[in-house]
Structure 1
Amino acid sequence: MSDVERESPPTVTSSRKPPRTLACVLCQQRKVKCDRKFPCNTCIKTGVQCVPVAAPRQRRRRFPEGELLQRVRHLEDLLRQNNIEFEPLHATASEKNALDGAKQTERSEGASPEVKTETTFEAKFHWIEGLTASRNLWHAMSQKVQPNRGLSLMEKVLIADDQQTNAYNDYEDDEDNDDDEDLRDVAGKKTWDQMYKNSTDYLLFGSRIMDIDLSTLHPDHVQIFKFWQIYLENVNPLLKVTHTPTLQVRLINATADLKNVEPNLEALMFSVYCVAVMSVQDEDCLETFGFAKEELLQRYRFGCQQALLKCGFLQSDDRDCLTALFLYLVAVRPDSDPRSLSSLLGLAIRMAQRMGMDNESSNAKHGPLEGEMRRRLWWALLLFDNRVCEMSDYRAATLSPAWNCKTPANLNDFDLQPEMKHLPQSHERPTETTLAILRYQVADLVRHSPFFLDFTNPSLKSIANPNDHGGTLEALQQKIEETCLQYCNTENPLQFMTLWLTRGHLARYRLFQHFSIPPSQQTPLQRDSALTQALTMLDCDTIITTSPLTKKHIWFLFFHFPFPAYIHILQYLKREPLAAHAEKCWRTMSESCKVRFSDPQQNDHPFHKTPIFKVFARIIVKAWEARVGVLKTSGKVEETPFIVSEVTRMVEVPGKYERAEVGMSSGQASSDTFGSEELMPFPVMGMTPRFNGFEVQEGFDFGGGGGNDGGMIGNGMVDVDMGALDLSAVDWSSVNIQGL
C-alpha cells in the first residue's frame, strides 16, 4: 500500500461522530453528574420525572485573552516610545520603582489621595462582579479564598472571565465539577438521626406520653374483631389500602399479646378502630359497643396519635406506619377544617415521596405484593388529597404528570401472596378492588389531560401524554362501560356502588372539561352535553344515596357533594327558564334535595345556618324567579318545586313561595330574604384564577342582568359571586341523608 493511500483522509461516514447524549434537565439545573440514561439514576433516587434535553445550549465563545493581552502590550510599547505618560498594565522594573517612589513622596508630604472617577471599564467590572456573587448562604460558606488579590484590574477581569468560561464548558462536557462539596451535602440522614433523636415528635401530635401503656387503650379481644369486621365491610372495599389475608393473621397474633405489639402494626390497629367507629351511625355504635360514638372516637384517636409517635412516624419509611396515618386522616376528616386537613395530607404525601411510592421503578423493586400495596396507598392518598383540595383554597398540584406510579392491577386480595415472584394477570371483570381501580384510572387520565392542567399547572402540559393513559374521557368511559360496568351485579352492594360512583365520577370530570372552554367558543352541542353531565351527576348521587345497599358506605358519600352540578344547572335555568329540559332539571334537583337535605334542627351543626346556605338558597330562588316571570306573562301557573320550597323553609320564611302564581319581581327574594352578608371565598376546584370559583370570564357570570331578550327574562346569570362561596366553611356531615 502506498504512502498516499495510507495518509488519505477518512470518509465522511467514518468521521461523523455519534450524537452526544446530554444530561437531563434536572441534573443540569442542580449541576450534578448525570449518567445520561433515561430515567437517570439521580432522578430515580430523588423520585422525580426525568426530562431529557432535546438540543444542547449554545455555548459562549472563549474569550481571546491571549490575543488581547498581546495587543495591550504592543500599545503600551507605542506609548513608551512616544514618551506618553500612562499607568501600565505590565510595568517594567524601572517603572515600578518610579511609581513606588512617587507614592511614598505623596504620603510623606501629606498630600490627599487623588479621587478617581470610575471608568466605564471599572463600572463594567463591578457589574460583572455583582452578577457572579453568591446569593446562597450555603454556597457562600463553601467558596474558597480568591488567589488573585495582587493582580491588576484588567488581569482580574480576564482571569475571572476565563474561569467562568472554562467552568461552563467543563460542566457541559463531563459535568464533573463536584470538587468543592457544598456544606448542605453533609446533612445526610444519619446526621439528622443522631442530632435530632426524639426531638421532633412534638411537631404534630405533641410530645409522646412515655408512661402511658397503649395496651390499656385497646378494646377487648371481642371488640377488636368487631372493629375489624366493620372495617372490612364499611371502609376497606372503598379504599383498599390494606391486604386482608396477611393483615388479619398479624392482627390475630397481636391480640394474643397486646403489650408487645410491633409499633407500626399497633399504629395501624388504632387507625382501623378510628375509621371503623367513624363509619357507623351514632345509634349503631351505642348498641354494638355500649359507648357513644364521640367517646370512642376521642379514645382511639388519642391512641392512634400515641402509637404513631411511638413508631416515629415523621421519620419512618414503613408502609404500615404511613397507612396508619392515612386512615387516621380519613377518620378525622368529618370533624376537620379542610384547610388543616390539606396541610396534614401534604405531610403524608411528602412521606410517600420520600419512600419512593410515586416512582414506579422503586415500587417494582419491592416484589409483587409490597409493590402493589404501595401503588394502592399512593393513589388513595392522591385522590383523598385532591378531594380535600377542591374543598379548600389550594390547587390540586399533586395530581399531575410529574410522577410515574402505575395504577394498581384489578386483583382480589387473595390473588396476591407474599411468596409470589411475579404479579398475576389483571382481571377483566369486576373484583373487590374494581371501584378503587376505576377511580384511579379516571384520575390517571385526568392528570395528563390539558383541560385539567390548565387549571392546576399549565407548564406541565409539555410532559403530559393522555394518549398513553386512556386518550379522552369519552373514549375511556366507553372502554370502562364495555369491559367492566356492564358486568356489574346491581344486587351486590360493592358492584352497585362501583357502577354508579364511576359513572358519576366520569360525568363530574366531563363537566369540568366543559368549564375549560371559553363561553364564546362553546357550541350548542357542547352546552347540551355539559347539562347532561350535570344531570347525570345528580342522578347517580340520588340513586346511590337512596339505595339500602349503600347504608354502610354513607360516610364516603357525604364526602362527595355534587355542588358543581347544582350550580351549572341553576345557571342554565336562569339563562333559559323555559328550555326543553327545564322541568327535568327542577325535578332532578328536587329529588336530590330530598335525600341530601334532612331536617336541620336534628343536627348539631345545622346546614341552613352555615354561611354558604344563604348564598346557595338565593341562587335557587333567583333561578326560579326567572321561570315564574316568563310563566306569568303567558298566564301559566306551575307548582313550586320541592327544592325551592325546602330552602325557603330552612331560612324560616314559610309560605312566601308556596305557588308560582305569587308575584315575585326579579331580585325581591334575594334582597328581602336571602341577604348577601357573610359571603366567603369558594373555589370549586381550588385551582388557578382561570377556574377559581366559576369566574365571569369563563362563563360563570353571576351578575344580575335582568333584561329581556327575545321574550326571555333573566338573560344574565344568577347574580351571586361564586368567588364568594366557601365549601370549607360547611360541615358536610350535617348534610344528612333522610331515613338512614
Structure 2
Amino acid sequence: MSATDPDSLQTTAPPRSSTTKSQRPLACAACQQRKVKCDRKFPCNACVKSRVQCIPISVPRQRRRRFPEAELLQRVRHLEDLLRQHNIDFDPLHANATTAEPTETVSLEQDKASPEIKTEPTFEAKNLWLAMSQTVRPHRSLPLMDEILITDYQSPNKDESEDDEDYKDVEDLRDVAGKKSWDQLFKNSTDFLLFGSLIEDIDLQVLHPPDHVQVFTLWQVYLDDVNPLLKVTHTPTLNARLINATGDLTNIEPNLEALIFGVYCVAVMSLTEVGCMDIFRCEKEVLMQRYRFGCQQALLRCRFLQTDNRDCLTALFLYLVAVRPDADPRSLSSLLGLTIRIAQRMGLDNESSNVKCGPLEGEMRRRLWWALLLFDNRVCEMGDYRAVTLSPSWSCKVPANINDSDLRVEMETLPQSHDRPTEMTMAILRYKVADLVRHSSFFLDFTNPALKALANPKDHGGSLEVLQQRIEDEFLRHCNPDHPHQFMTIWLTRGHIARYLLFQHFSIPLEKQTWQQRSSAITHALTMLSCDTTIMTHPYTTKHSWFLFFHFPFPAYIHILQHLKREPLASQAELCWKTLSESCKVRFTNPEYEAHPFHKTPMFAVFTRIVVKAWESRAAALRKQGETEQEEVPFIVTEFQKKLLGSEAPSLENMTSSDEDTTSRFEDEGMVMPFPMMSAAGPFSCFDQGALDIWSDDNLMDVDMGALDLAGVGWPLLNISGT
C-alpha cells in the first residue's frame, strides 16, 4: 500500500482516549516541527502533500507558569514613560529600554577573556517582520525583555492559544517571504547575471590539478604567499577538509569546491612566470584561465548571488583578488560592490550577527569582512570612486590578535587576544588604522561628510598620532625583524600609517597650513617611500610582490616632486632626491615590472615631465647661486630619460620648461585640476583619453599631486597650489 494513501496513514494513527477532555484540535507533530500551517484535520493536507506520516498531538505541550509580576511590570513601564515625557531624569528598570532601543552586545571574548574591556551598545536596525508580529503577541504592550520574563512562567493550564498560532503564521510568512519564495520562483533565472550561464554537463573534476601533488603544492603556495596577508581562511580546518575532498572529488561539497578553486586562482596569481614554469611546467596564463573558469563554474553551482555561505563568499573574494592584476579597476569595483552587498545580507558587517555564530565562525566572518573592505577601498582609489564602504555606518569589530591554532570548532568562548605578535598581527594593525580612519573627520570630508555625526574616533583610537604611538609601543617593538612575517608587519604598518597621515594633511586648507605641518607632510611622504623600498628590496618579501605592486606609493612620489619643484634648495632636497632614486631602482627597474611596462603607457610621459621639471628647477637654482660644480643627476632622472627615449611616448624635446608662463599663470589663479587615481601594479590603464588630454604641453599646470591616490577627493574644496 502506498505510503501516501490516507487510509494507510489512518491505520497508523494512535487512538484518542475517550477519557481525554474535549479540546480544540492541535497542529500535528510534523507541522509543528516544520513550522507550517496545519489544517488540523487527520491526515492534514500539508503531510499528504509532503508524503510524510501525519501524527496528531492529543496532549498540549505544558505551558510555563505565568509570571505573577506581569501587571507590576506594566505599571512600572507606564510610570517610566510618564517620567520621560516630562523630561525627568531617573534610572530605568532596564537601561537598554530607550526610545532608540539599543541592545548591548557583548562578545564572547569580552565575557570571559577580557573583563577590562567595556561593553558598547550597538544599535541594530529593527526587523519589519518582527514588528508586524508584535501586534499578535500576548504581551505586546511590554518591552521584549519583560515579555521574555513573563513567557518563562506561563500557566500550565492554558491551551495553545489563537495568538500563539497567529504568531507562528507570521513567523512562517517571514521565512517564506524572505527566502523560500525567492528560491522557488527564481531557482535558475539569475545565474546568467555574472559569469554567463552554468554549463550543466561539464565535469569540474577535470579542471582540478591532475594529481594530488599539484593540489597540495598549490595549497602550500597559498599558505606561504597569500594567506599571511589576507587571513580569510582557517588553516587547520580547511586543511583537513581539503585532504578529505581530494580523496573523492566527484562528491565534493559545492561551496568547498568553489573555495578550493579560489585558492588555486590566488596561488597561481601570486607566482611569477618563471616560478610557475619551474613548479608546474606550465605557463602562468594557461593555469590562470583554467582555474578561473573552474572557479566561475563552481560559484555558479553554489548560486553565489543568493548564497548565505561563508565559504562561497570567501571563494568569490579570492577570485576577485586573483583577477585584479588583469582587470580594469572600474569593472572590479562594480563586482566588489556586489560582493559587499552579499556580505551585508549575510550580516558580516553587523557585530550582533557575528557574535551569534560562535567563536570560530564569528571570527572568520570578521576577518573576511575587513579583508573585503580594505580590498574594496584600494580598488576604489584606483578607479576614482569614493570609498563609501569604509564608513562608521557598520559595527563589525576588528578581529582578535590570535593564531589560527588558537581557534577550534568545539570552542564556546573566544580566546583572549595575545599581547605578542601572531599570524594576525599584520592584518589587524591595518584594520585598526582603517577602523580609526573611517571614524575620522578628515576622511569623511572626502567620502561622505553627512556621516560625520555617526563618527566616534575616541572609541577607535582617538587620533592617528596617538594610535601610531600605541601601535609602536604595544606591537611593533615586540616584532623580530629577522622573522619574515614580523619584518613585513613592521614596515607595512609604518608605511600604512604614514599614508593616512599624508592624507590627513591634504584635508587642511592651504591658508591654514603652517610651515611645520608642511614639513611633516614631506616627512610622511619620505616615510612612505622608505618603508616601501625597505620591503621591496628584502629577500623575505619576494613571494609577496603581488601584494606590494598592488600598493604603489604614488601620492608620496608626486607630493615630494611638487615640493622640490617649488623649493628646489630646501633643506631636505638632497634626501628627497636620494629617496626617490632608491625607490625608482626597485619600482621601475625590477624585472617583475616588465609584465606591466610603465614606460610604454601614456602616463609615463606625464610622470617623466614632473620629474624633469623638478630637477630643472634645482639645477637652475644652483646656477643662480653661482654653484660652479654641477650636481650629479639623480638616478630617477637619468632612468626616466632613458626609458622615455626608448619608448613610444613623446620625446624629451617636448619636456622642456617652455611652459613656465602657462604654469605660473595657473599657479597665480590658484586653479586645481582633478586627476584620476593611479593604478597600483604597473599598467596604469585606468585613465581615459579625456583625462590624459588635459596633460598636454599647453595645459600642464603645477598642482599638489599628493592627493592623487586618495578616494573621492573633493577637488574644488582642496584648492591646493603649493606645499
Tell me which residue corresponds to 2:334: 343
Distance 1:268 1:437 in 2: 23
8 A contact 2:555–2:708 mirrored in 1: no
1:217-248 superposed Cα distances (whole Å, 9 cap, x missing partner): 11111100000000000000000000000000
Tell me which residue corresponds to 1:494: 485
Change in 2 beyond 3 A, CA 1:665/1:681: closer
Distance 2:592 2:473 in 1: 45
Distance 1:602 1:373 in 2: 34
Work out whether 1:212 is the aligned partner of 2:277: no
Change in 2 beyond 3 A, CA 1:515/1:21: farther
Change in 2 beyond 3 A, CA 1:438/1:422: same
8 A contact 2:225–2:543 mirrored in 1: yes
Distance 2:545 2:499 in 1: 19
By how many angstroms is 1:198 displaced? Answer: 1.0
Distance 2:319 2:593 in 1: 27
% identical equivalent positions: 66
1:437-476 superposed Cα distances (whole Å, 9 cap, x missing partner): 1000000000000100001111111110000000010110
Q: In structure 2, which of residues 591, 601, 604 is the aligned counterpart of residue 610 of structure 1?
A: 601
Change in 2 beyond 3 A, CA 1:221/1:522: same
Work out whether 1:222 is the aligned partner of 2:213: yes
Q: In structure 2, which of residues 56, 76, 101 is the aligned counterpart of residue 37 of structure 1?
A: 101
Given residue 38 of structure 1, which amino acid in structure 2 is its aligned partner? P
Distance 1:573 1:483 in 2: 36
Q: In structure 2, which of residues 657, 676, 681 is the aligned counterpart of residue 682 of structure 1?
A: 676
Q: Give the alignment of 1:71-150 within 5 angstroms.
A: none
1:559 partner SS: coil
Change in 2 beyond 3 A, CA 1:383/1:16: closer
By how many angstroms is 1:390 displaced? Answer: 0.6
Q: In structure 2, which of residues 155, 177, 189 is the aligned counterpart of residue 199 of structure 1?
A: 189
Change in 2 beyond 3 A, CA 1:451/1:36: closer
2:470 partner SS: helix
Change in 2 beyond 3 A, CA 1:574/1:21: farther
Change in 2 beyond 3 A, CA 1:504/1:352: same
By how many angstroms is 1:623 displaced? Answer: 1.1
* Deviation larger for 606-615 or 289-298: 606-615
Work out whether 1:567 is the aligned partner of 2:558: yes
TM-score with structure 2 setting the length: 0.69
Q: Give the alignment of 1:364-443 within 5 angstroms.
A: 364-443=355-434
By how many angstroms is 1:358 displaced? Answer: 0.3
Aligned residues: 534
Work out whether 1:19 is the aligned partner of 2:84: yes
Change in 2 beyond 3 A, CA 1:468/1:21: farther
8 A contact 1:439–1:505 mirrored in 2: yes
By how many angstroms is 1:726 displaced? Answer: 9.6
| Root mean square deviation, CA, Å | 3.6
By how many angstroms is 1:50 displaced? Answer: 3.9
Q: Give the alignment of 1:395-544 within 5 angstroms.
A: 395-544=386-535
Distance 1:21 1:222 in 2: 75
Q: Give the alignment of 1:171-182 within 5 angstroms.
A: none
Given residue 37 of structure 1, which amino acid in structure 2 is its aligned partner? E
8 A contact 2:559–2:705 mirrored in 1: no
Tell me which residue corresponds to 2:684: none
Change in 2 beyond 3 A, CA 1:290/1:51: closer
Change in 2 beyond 3 A, CA 1:643/1:419: same
8 A contact 1:680–1:726 mirrored in 2: no
Distance 1:423 1:49 in 2: 19
Distance 1:542 1:602 in 2: 15
By how many angstroms is 1:727 displaced? Answer: 11
Tell me which residue corresponds to 1:281: 272
Change in 2 beyond 3 A, CA 1:720/1:649: farther
1:308-358 superposed Cα distances (whole Å, 9 cap, x missing partner): 001111101000000000000000000000000001111110000000000
1:644-695 superposed Cα distances (whole Å, 9 cap, x missing partner): 11111111079xxxxxxxx975548999xxxxxxx99414699xxxxxx9xx
Tell me which residue corresponds to 2:161: none
8 A contact 2:101–2:123 mirrored in 1: no
Change in 2 beyond 3 A, CA 1:608/1:534: same
Work out whether 1:719 is the aligned partner of 2:709: no
1:554-609 superposed Cα distances (whole Å, 9 cap, x missing partner): 11000000000011111111111100000100110000001000278983542112
Q: In structure 1, which of residues 210, 222, 231 is the aligned counterpart of residue 222 of structure 2?
A: 231
Distance 1:257 1:464 in 2: 51
8 A contact 1:272–1:327 mirrored in 2: yes
8 A contact 1:451–1:513 mirrored in 2: yes
Distance 1:222 1:669 in 2: 66
8 A contact 1:571–1:718 mirrored in 2: no
Distance 1:465 1:494 in 2: 32
Distance 2:445 2:708 in 1: 22
1:17 partner SS: helix
8 A contact 1:511–1:534 mirrored in 2: yes
Distance 2:336 2:478 in 1: 35
Q: In structure 1, which of residues 329, 353, 376 is the aligned counterpart of residue 344 of structure 2?
A: 353
Change in 2 beyond 3 A, CA 1:312/1:429: same
Change in 2 beyond 3 A, CA 1:49/1:650: farther
Given residue 585 of structure 1, which amino acid in structure 2 is its aligned partner? C
Distance 2:249 2:605 in 1: 51
Question: Where in structure 2 are there 5+ consecutive unaligned residues?
Answer: 1-78, 88-97, 106-120, 126-142, 144-169, 648-654, 664-672, 681-686, 688-693, 712-723
By how many angstroms is 1:258 displaced? Answer: 0.5
Given residue 291 of structure 2, which amino acid in structure 1 is its aligned partner? Y
2:84 partner SS: coil
Change in 2 beyond 3 A, CA 1:496/1:15: closer
TM-score with structure 1 setting the length: 0.67
Distance 2:417 2:104 in 1: 29
Distance 2:330 2:385 in 1: 8
By how many angstroms is 1:520 displaced? Answer: 0.4
Given residue 647 of structure 1, which amino acid in structure 2 is its aligned partner? F
Distance 2:80 2:538 in 1: 75
Change in 2 beyond 3 A, CA 1:599/1:462: closer
8 A contact 2:555–2:705 mirrored in 1: no
Given residue 450 of structure 1, which amino acid in structure 2 is its aligned partner? S
1:172-214 superposed Cα distances (whole Å, 9 cap, x missing partner): xx9xxxxxx9xx9996432222111111111010001100011
Work out whether 1:652 is the aligned partner of 2:614: no
Tell me which residue corresponds to 2:251: 260
8 A contact 2:219–2:263 mirrored in 1: yes
Given residue 300 of structure 2, which amino acid in structure 1 is its aligned partner? L
Question: Where in structure 1 are there 5+ consecutive unaligned residues?
Answer: 1-13, 23-33, 42-47, 53-173, 175-180, 655-662, 672-678, 687-692, 694-700, 706-716, 729-740
1:81-115 superposed Cα distances (whole Å, 9 cap, x missing partner): xxxxxxxxxxxxxxxxxxxxxxxxxxxxxxxxxxx
Distance 2:308 2:80 in 1: 52
8 A contact 2:348–2:369 mirrored in 1: yes
2:550 partner SS: coil
Tell me which residue corresponds to 1:82: none
8 A contact 1:681–1:723 mirrored in 2: no
8 A contact 1:682–1:722 mirrored in 2: no
